[in-house]
A and B are shown apart, each in its own frame.
Chain A
Amino acid sequence: MGIHKLMSLIDEKAPDAVKEITLDTLTGKKVAIDASMCIYQFLISTQTLKQGFGVTELRDKDGNLTGHLVGILNRTLSLLDHGIKPIWVFDGKAPQLKAGELEERKEKKKEAKEKMDQLMEEGKDDEAAKMAQRSIRVTPEMTEDAKKMLRLCNIPMVEAPSEAEAQCAQMVKDELAFATVTEDMDALTFGTTVLLRGFGNRKDPIRQITLSKVLEGFEMSMDEFIDLCILCGCDYTSSISGIGPVKAFKYITQYKTIEEVLEVLEKENTKSKSATKKRYQIPEEFLYKESRAFFNEPDVTKKEDLEEFKWGTPEEEALTKFLTEEKGFSEVTVNNALKKFKKTKGKANQKRLDTFFKMGTKKSTSKVTKTKAAVKSKGKKSFK
């Protein structure tokens, strides 16, 4: 999913592009959240394993999963509480290019489900739970539930024509939002200027990745970066076996485009001694041109065609009715959520000082070789 190993590549080649932040630093900003990605995370995290009962999930009376609703509601509240305005963005129709990838995922899910049932029978609960995570499927009804809930909360929501992360990236480019919130690294390939990762994990800080600094660190143009991502392995075409992120980086740095890289690879293949096994296996249908075109011009709704975003207060009665009567929420949970909504009112209305004054940076001039962390751990002196 996303771009294979792009994060490790950024960590290695462009460490300056990554900043660890807390939610506080985002106060007063709007963020576009890849809802489809979150839904999976939430469903996985709300699965529980009960001894003897197997894996249980939160479900409504009709058997539809509801864990994602709890997750989206809580995430929304936590963002509002920090003065951050969320815009949830949902996947639309999957692009034709992704058909292969999706087919593969479906197969894997089916396999996981079968394996889970088998493991259950054998009483291997822990392993079964792992398989259960992999077998989660999001039905259109579940997505509709999430959209309905957000509408009732009066939180803005966008239905992307195609990929959600591409839509998020467009909204950031159009300055409708400060950043894209997703784990999916291809939001960068789609051109989001800022990407925020790691919202799912409360222990670790959020990582803020700035595209311009990635390009700077990689010493690449945006076109070269897109080609690099395709070579690393993306969702839209199968990749060349024998090429990993490190080689992809080396080749794009040297030869700039996939076309050139392919020529070099062909040559190396003919040089290879073994006639039966080629060093690099270029797939018969290597759709790099199509993928490149899609990264450059994805199907998205531009600023002009989007409704203005408004963050209102929830329609209490309708929301309570929907969540308690249809989705199996307890009244206490809904009431608490409504209370929290009220508490957050006004928090997102905080202006930032940088809207008034020009901002620059200032560095300490002191000669300190130790990093901050090293200073903190002082005291643990080693004896010689």
Chain B
Amino acid sequence: MFEAKLAEGIIFKKIVEAIKELVSDVNIDISPTGISLQAMDNSHVALVSLQLSMDGFESFRSDKPMTLGINIGNLFKIMKLGDNDDSMTLKAEEDPSHLTIIFENEKKGRFAEFNINLINIDTEHLSVSDNEGGSQLSMASGEFSKIMKELYQISETVNIETSQELIQFSVEGDCGSGSVKIGPTEGETREEQVVIQSDEQVNLSFALRYLTMFTKASGLSSMVNVSLSTEAPLVVKYEIQNLGSLQYYLAPKISDEE
């Protein structure tokens, strides 16, 4: 038996929205301490990893760990049926054949219940380790999203170069070339703050197609954390308040000389 109630159902909707372009079928892991998910895109270039702790739920009960195979496209269809101010409950029996999703809204006096059929899938699971060292950037998620989107208009690939106090995003396209440089700022509010920490200088290229897909999660958090390392994939992390985090991993491009 598994039952978890989230006061703000919209958060879950945003999560589903943020991963539905990257992956189609996923295994959702339910454990006594929370919900997690890890999935790779078809070409094994990018990975999404979700961690939700039971503490952020209004109520959480899970007797036995289980892994639920779900089609994200179908899950999104059901998520759209909930209103933004609904609470959401996830429910599954032992050895379930479906996952029950309940949207409740006391103010509007509305109660909606849906069952989504589960599927059996074998997914490839990576033992992901966190980046140590390298360069870290923390900035407003909206701003990061805007930069990625605009750069994608110019080129498919972005080169990211870090130094002690600066991160530079450069592109080269048919129409020309250019770069956006970001340096640390104090800022008046937290959202205006840019923090750069660079233990190792990095110079790597990435596919903007994926980076723009990652920024779909901007709605989950006002801040984004980007970490780069020569020895590891790029990590884009969105903290979800009180609940956990949504992280994306992206393998770099190999430079032509190699």
Interface residues of A (CB under 8 A from B): 22, 24-28, 83, 346-347, 349-372, 375, 378
Contact = CB atoms under 8 A, between A and B. Distances in A.
B97 interface: yes
B150 interface: no
A378 B118 CA distance: 13
A359 B124 contact: yes
A354 B44 contact: yes
Interface stretch (B55-63, B175-183, B186-194, B245-253): B245-253
Contact of A350 (B45, B123, B128): B45
A362 B121 CA distance: 8
A369 B66 CA distance: 16
Given A362-B27, A366-B96, A353 B129 contact: no
A233 to B, nearest CB: 35
Contacts of B68: 364-366
Nearest to A345: B256
How many chain B residues sit at the interface, stated as a range, is 35 or more
17 contacts: A24-B42, A349-B205, A349-B254, A350-B207, A350-B251, A353-B46, A353-B47, A354-B124, A357-B126, A359-B127, A362-B67, A362-B124, A362-B125, A364-B69, A364-B118, A369-B97, A372-B119
A366 B126 contact: no
Given A353-B44, A368-B117, 8 more contacts: A27-B44, A359-B127, A362-B67, A364-B67, A365-B67, A366-B96, A367-B96, A371-B120
Query: Closest 5 CB pairs between A and B?
Result: A364-B69, A27-B43, A367-B95, A357-B126, A351-B251
The listed residue with most A CB atoms (<10 A of its CB), out of B40, B65, B119, B121, is B119
B124 A24 contact: no
Contact of B126 (A346, A349, A354): A354
B215 interface: no
A352 B255 CA distance: 14
B120 A346 contact: no
Nearest to A312: B256
Nearest to A371: B120
Contacts of B129: 357
Contacts of A361: 122-125
A367 B95 CA distance: 5
A24 B97 contact: no
Contacts of B126: 353-354, 357-360
Contacts of B127: 357-360
Interface in B120-179: 120-129, 156-157
Contact of B43 (A25, A363, A365, A368): A25
A378 to B, nearest CB: 7
B42 A25 contact: yes
B45 A366 contact: no
A364 B70 CA distance: 9
Contacts of A370: 117
A366 B120 contact: yes
A28 B127 CA distance: 20
Interface in B1-52: 25, 27, 40, 42-47
The listed residue with most B CB atoms (<10 A of its CB), out of A25, A27, A351, A354, is A351
B233 interface: yes
Contact of A364 (B119, B252, B253): B119
B195 interface: no
Contacts of A27: 43-45
A349 B206 CA distance: 10
Nearest to B67: A365
B232 interface: yes
B119 A375 contact: yes
The listed residue with most A CB atoms (<10 A of its CB), out of B47, B65, B128, B254, is B254
Nearest to B99: A366
A346 B206 CA distance: 10
Given A350-B253, A366-B95, A360 B67 contact: no
A351 B47 CA distance: 13
A350 B254 CA distance: 6
Contacts of A357: 126-129
A25 B67 contact: no
Contact of A28 (B43, B123, B255): B43
Contact of B119 (A25, A349, A368): A368
A364 B252 CA distance: 30
Contacts of A354: 44, 124, 126
Given A364-B67, A364-B121, A366-B97, A346 B233 contact: no
Interface in B61-93: 65-69
Contacts of A352: 43-45, 251
A165 B129 CA distance: 40
A110 B27 CA distance: 57
A25 B119 CA distance: 21
